[in-house]
Chain A
Amino acid sequence: MTLLLRQHAEEQFAEELSALERADAHSRPPSWRLSPWAVETYLMGGELEDGFQIEPKYFGNRRLIQIAIATLTTERALLLLGVPGTAKTWVSEHISAAISGDSTLLIQGTAGTSEETLRYGWNYARLLAEGPSQEALVASPLMRAMSAGAVARVEELTRIPADVQDTLISILSEKSLPVPELNIEVRAQKGFNVIATANSQDRGVNELSSALKRRFNTVVLPLPATAEEEVEIVLHRVEALGRTLELPAEPPALDEVRRIVTIFRELRSGLTADGRTKIKSPSSTLSTAEAISVVSSGLALAAHFGDGNMHAGDVASGLIGAVIKDPVQDRIVWQEYMETVVRERKGWSDLYRAGRDVEATDS
């Protein structure tokens, strides 16, 4: 067993990838390790002809994944959009692992990302000693992906300053990266492509120019469509997390998880599960990832301070913390929700009481 805290996708699922490669009979685009069909199976899970089980990586709409993969086959760049916690990075990592067998050609977009990070930099000691040469050049992940014909990933594209973003335009349309200092250019091999992710909530930070936008096909990854789907994701991930964190508590009670997911979904959609009553939505995202963290912190509370089983009291404070991000507006929303929905609902009185207790100690 490895001591690494986290493995890359292509390491963790190496076995699955090689099984898929063996079984894959469809035609593969140039430089692709797998055919588009096999990439889809890798993402969505399934059983191979020899009975090998592929674990699903993405729980959700298969059609979206198909659009993403089809985009990459047309040599258009792919932009994954979504609110935080909708598995954008997760999907981009797994797609590039499946297509190129390498998910590490990664550029993390920040407000400080410079043009060198996207293009190339210099090894200055060598530059000074030997003058400009190929050896003194430090290629960016993007440049390496171009020459290898692999998929490069750009995380948080909209966090990158607008002028730096525009560097991508020429790379994506000309598929080449000139190095004027050496009077050469690096030309993209077939198979090169870019998967970018961006957060749709702070889109306004550095809105993409329409010229750059035009180079991307966009797929919006939504929050889970049904409560069952979301419960499944939460349980799946919490169990996986619990294993790495070595939490001693019992596995989370399905009912409690379902309740949290119901609350998240209702507040998010502004409609009760039965579709009868409208409610206000808070300013918080309430993504599945947050539901996962509410459950795992509830588990930790139950394990270390409770009886090992997760009860309403263990999740209440995490829940309220996730919902109330704006102390005034969100509090009204939450109180309305407590009074009009939670209080009335059968079997939820424990949660109502727990919620009231937390709020009483808060204020």
Chain B
Amino acid sequence: MSSKYPKPHLMGVRHHGPGSARTVRNALADLKPDIVLIEGPPDGQDLLAWAADADLVPPVAMLIYSPKEPSQAAYYPFARFSPEWQAVQQARRFDVPVLFIDLPQATQFALERRAVQNHAHSEPTTPDQDDDLSSLAPVRQDPLAWVAAAAGYADSERWWELQIEERRDSRHLFSAISELMVALRSEVDSEESSKQDAEQSQQSNTLLREAAMREAIRKAYDQDFHRVAVVCGAWHTPALMDLEDQKGDRALLAKLPSTDVAATWVPWTYKRLATRSGYGAGISSPGWYHHLWDAQTDNDSRLASGWLTRIAQLMRAEGLVISSAHVIEAVRLAEALAALRGRPTPGLDELMESAQSVFCFGESLPLAVVGEKLLIGDTLGSVPAAVPTVPLQADLSRLQKSLRLKPEAAARDLDLDLRRPIGLGRSQLLHRLSLLDINWGVFRVEGSGRGTFRENWKLEWRPDLAMSVIEASVWGNSVEDAATARASHQAQAERNLADLTRLAHTLLLANLPDALSAALARVSEMAAMAGDVRVLMAAFPPLVRILRYGDVRGTDVEMVTHVLDGLGVRICIGLPFACAGIADEEAVGISGQLNHMHQSISLLESDPDGRPANGAAEQLERWLSALATIAQGTQTHALIAGRACRLLRDRKLYDSTETARQLSVALSASAAPLKAAHWIDGFLRASGTILLYDRHLWNLIDQWVTNLPADLFVETLPLLRRTFATFTQPERRRLGEMAAGRGRAAQANDTEQQFDSNRAALVLPTITNLLGLQEEEMDAN
């Protein structure tokens, strides 16, 4: 090996591993390097100056974004126990320069953009929001975890701790890690060579990054630094050992595209550091690592008892009784478990398992209550006030400019015409901002349906809204992204189905199709769990509105159809049961919902464009058969049965004979009069016209009322009165006339029997004359 460049001191670490952090700190103290190189974006180099600021408290993240396209952004989070953070701090202590040596993020953004353009004909992928580690093969994300698992450990930090404790010279440990990685990488690379090209582009990206890092290391040597320490992900160590092929690296790095980027510090939380938040290089339990870092681990019994005491305290705060005796037993069990599993000290698994067994009566639920606080914690970092603004604010300013909507402190009204692009744009912006709790505008008037193309807003920009923007910036870097992310999250957390469908409707107005699909997915999920049919029925009509008017705004109609379909099935199955054995007030509610459902389903079927919605016919058929079951169900509340019967009749599914049969069944003598009155109420409510035209029905009701015994008549009267009071004035008058005319009709019948044909014959000639008919014709007739 020629000796132009010596081998650098490579420190392969696990991102956010407290064990790695401690080793790095000690190794740097031993080595006393004259420069520290860290795997990190050179674009953020200037930000390192802030690391000395006492107001920069981890967890914080370096945010690097493209100002032109804020959706392209990368976060580099640092916790107190991140090896990179400790390396920066240690270098500051020894007063040696620190350099970030990864491939510049500016280049990575440009490459991503190019890749997206190249793949535009196939599926356009949105650029990765997070650190680019997220899409790596699992073995690359956390190679040490795999090695630890191979050695039989569930917690790689424990494995790491043990390995360190057994060694005195930690630099040898780093060379051991490098060796391990060489073996691991040769294994993985041979496997990966057979993989798809997505994997390969990822691989070539890794090659570029490693070339850039090598080049940076060479530069350090060229600048006459001698003891060069390199802190990088363990995975990269094999590639950084050999610095010979300078020509090859230069060729690889030549003519790489670049783009403008801006960088800033943003406060971070342990929650967002956790794997669960979708952060690729995340760790599962920042809280535990925090404890590990703090406990210093020279005294392992303190580690276990400290952790279990913390659990006990958190559980007590939740009102669960945990005594010190419990903690003692849990420590003993954890130690016995560790012995059984052949570990010298209990790890997180042993501790949590013994806590569950001793504290929680074997249940996982109480631990889950404290789990989030315990394992993740609500630690929030802070950033000095002087660091630059967040991209969300930049995007908002850009939108305000392009939509000519200046933030003004004075309140004013804004009328929007949604038919004009600028009106639509403004409306969408305001809806999105209110989804982000940036309450610049207050929505005043809402028109329902597509007919309304006007919206009225009250605008007022308050200074504290700037704070809301920063708060909202955790959701994304552009208004659209942030609103989508926030709304999707809200949809996930929403527990009330009706609120959720309302949210979905707002999303339609804000034109956030992605969040809308998320909300709809949640609707279908919750619909499956909802035990109460009334809840389902309340959710149905807003969805129908989305389906009917959504396609105007380019919503994914298929999705809504699917959700509606599922909802419809569930309603139709559950409804007959829900209508049985219920109180009168409840029945009134359900019968009202029956109307809404019926209207909604009719709306589905009758499109103004003359084109029924997808699956409308099946929905209708299912609905009508459910109605028939309800109408004929012997257990159904009479009010609802009456309503169902009426709806079926209006649909012409029941002809007048069948309707009359149903009515007479309901009014038959064996039925309780009050029940019958309910049935009539359900059947007739709000429209009595049917009685005017269908004599048969009229007669049946008439007969029933007449035959009621006096006391029962008094009892049912208020209910009947209430029913008839819902009719329109003319309807009531004509019905009244009919009822009054009943007596006269009877008289007429009498007259018919005493018909005098001779007297009638007297008028015939006059009529013949009047009509101009001939006598013969009359005779012929």
Contact = CB atoms under 8 A, between A and B. Distances in A.
Interface of A: 36-37, 40, 63, 66-67, 69-71, 73-74, 76, 79, 81, 210, 213-214, 217-220, 270, 277-280, 328, 332, 335-336, 339-340
A37 B332 contact: no
Nearest to A69: B340
12 contacts: A63-B349, A67-B337, A67-B353, A213-B361, A217-B333, A218-B358, A218-B362, A277-B528, A280-B529, A280-B531, A332-B577, A339-B569
Interface stretch (B61-69, B120-128, B322-330, B724-732): B322-330
B341 interface: yes
Contacts of A66: 337, 340-341
Contacts of A219: 357, 362
Given A210-B321, A214-B325, A280-B531, A336 B362 contact: no
Contacts of B349: 63
Contact of B329 (A40, A76, A335): A76
A324 to B, nearest CB: 14
What are the 7 closest A-B residue pairs judged by CB atoms, nearest first?
A218-B362, A278-B528, A220-B362, A70-B336, A70-B337, A217-B357, A278-B525
B291 interface: no
Nearest to A36: B340
Interface centre among A67, A213, A219 (most CB of B within 10 A): A67
B705 to A, nearest CB: 37
Contacts of A210: 321
A332 B574 contact: yes
A339 B626 CA distance: 15
Given A70-B333, A336-B569, 9 more contacts: A67-B337, A67-B357, A70-B336, A70-B339, A214-B326, A280-B528, A332-B574, A339-B569, A340-B570
Contacts of B354: 67, 217
Contact of A70 (B325, B340, B362): B340
Contact of B566 (A40, A69, A217, A340): A340
Contacts, number: 84
Contacts of A328: 577
B323 A214 contact: yes
Contacts of B566: 340
B573 A218 contact: no
Contacts of B570: 336, 340
B715 interface: no
Nearest to B337: A70
B363 interface: yes
Contacts of A277: 524-525, 528
A98 B178 CA distance: 45
A336 B326 contact: no
A278 B529 contact: yes
Nearest to A340: B569
A290 B362 CA distance: 24
Contacts of B336: 70-71, 73-74
Contacts of A63: 349, 353
A67 to B, nearest CB: 6
Contact of B528 (A37, A218, A279): A279
A291 B362 CA distance: 25
Contacts of A73: 336, 340
A74 B340 contact: no
A340 B566 CA distance: 8
A76 B335 CA distance: 13
A74 B525 contact: no
Contacts of B525: 277-278
B173 to A, nearest CB: 29
Interface in B203-256: none
Contacts of B321: 210
A214 B358 CA distance: 8
Contacts of A71: 333, 336, 357
Interface string B559-600: 000000010011001100100000000000000000000000
Nearest to B353: A67
B573 A76 contact: no
Contacts of A76: 329, 332-333
B43 to A, nearest CB: 39
Contacts of A336: 569-570, 573
A76 B326 CA distance: 12
Contacts of A220: 362-364
Interface in B293-340: 321, 323, 325-326, 329, 332-333, 336-337, 339-340
B333 A74 contact: yes
Interface string B178-195: 000000000000000000
Contacts of A218: 357-358, 360-363
A361 to B, nearest CB: 20
Contacts of A70: 333, 336-337, 339-340
A227 B525 CA distance: 22
Contacts of B339: 70
Interface in B500-550: 524-526, 528-529, 531
B528 A74 contact: no
A63 B329 CA distance: 18
A332 B333 contact: no
A81 B361 contact: yes
Interface in B45-69: none
A81 B337 CA distance: 19
Nearest to A278: B528
Nearest to B528: A278
A37 B342 CA distance: 10
A66 B321 CA distance: 26
Nearest to B321: A210
Given A280-B529, A336-B573, A74 B362 contact: no
B362 A81 contact: yes
A189 B321 CA distance: 32
Contacts of B358: 217-218
A336 B237 CA distance: 56
A79 B357 CA distance: 9
A339 B574 CA distance: 12
